[in-house]
Amino acid sequence: MEACFREVKEELGWDHFECRGWRCIHRHLYVTILGGLFCARVRRQLSPAAVVTSGELLTVEQVRRAVNVYLDALDLPRRQRKKRYQQELDRQAYYQLRNAAAARSHHKTRLQQLRNLDIDPDQIKSVCPKPPPN
């Protein structure tokens, strides 16, 4: 839950508003929450269920950035638009590889920490998900 709030605050501007009335505050919160729901839905649709626990899950920042590139390139000629889309796809692929490597590393570190405490991670269902594929 905390991670969701942090993402919405950092990426969607939940904490970047100055309002003088309740109607303004509510309007800003509704728009921000709607943006968060949109990003969550896109993340779920573009990330297979089997990789939800690995670094291959899209982040809110990646979804937001992809939507921004899409909207910025709408009025460009077809060739330039395709080039911008490809540049963003390449960037996203690069970060997906980095996120997957980080997830594997964190998983390995967490398992070692548990073993150092004489805890068998295989006996505890919710402590660590299965390791991401190599």
Predicted pLDDT of residue 81: 92
Examine the domain organization and report whether 90 and 126 are in the same domain: yes
pTM score = 0.55
How many structural domains compose the chain? 2
Supply the range of the domain harboring residue 74. 48-134
3-class state of residue 17 by DSSP: coil
Indicate whether 19 and 65 sit together in one domain.
no
Q: Quickly count: other Cβ atoms within 10 Å of residue 75's Cβ.
A: 8
Q: Are residues 5 and 68 in the same domain?
A: no
Read off the DSSP letter of residue 132: P
pLDDT tens digits, 9-63: 777 776 776 777 777 777 777 777 777 778 777 777 776 654 444 445 677 778 8
Together in a domain, 81 and 109: yes
Q: Locate 132 and state its tokens.
A: 């991401």
State how far Cα 10 lies from the chain centre.
12
On whether the CB atoms of residues 17 and 28 are closer than 8 A, the answer is yes
Per residue in 85-114, pLDDT (tens digit) is: 999 989 988 988 888 888 889 888 988 888
85 and 119 share a domain? yes
CB 9 within 8 A of CB 17: no
54 and 103 part of one domain: yes
Give me the residue label for tokens 């998983």.
107
In whole angstroms, give the CA distance from residue 134 to residue 121: 20
- For every residue of 21-80, DSSP letters joined together read SHHHHHHHHHHHHHHHHHHHHHHHHHS-GGGTTSTTSPPHHHHHHHHHHHHHTTTS-HHH
Tell me: do 103 and 42 sit in the same domain.
no
